[in-house]
Amino acid sequence: MSQTIHNAIKAAGDNDFSAEQRRSFAVAAALEAIAAKAAGGSDAALKSEFFYLSEYADKIQEALKVK
């Protein structure tokens, strides 16, 4: 895991940040994952990944909730 993803995910779950800040960190983590996946892909694949950006961020935030 890249240091950027690690830091973004850690911050996305930190209650010391506002909801907007945590969302921004979740989006940053999702963007890093998309960038890694798209490194060898086509433009069409990248467009598809950006279509799901918000959903990926939602899933990251949901996964960070303590159960």
User: Is the pLDDT reported for residue 1 higher than 70?
Assistant: no
What CA–CA distance (Å, rounded) separates 49 from 52?
5
Helix axes 53-63, 19-38, angle to 10 degrees: 120
Contact yes or no for 53/34 (Cβ under 8 A): yes
pLDDT in tens, 27-60: 988 988 888 887 777 777 788 888 999 999 999 8
> Average of pLDDT values for 2-6?
76
The reported pTM is: 0.75
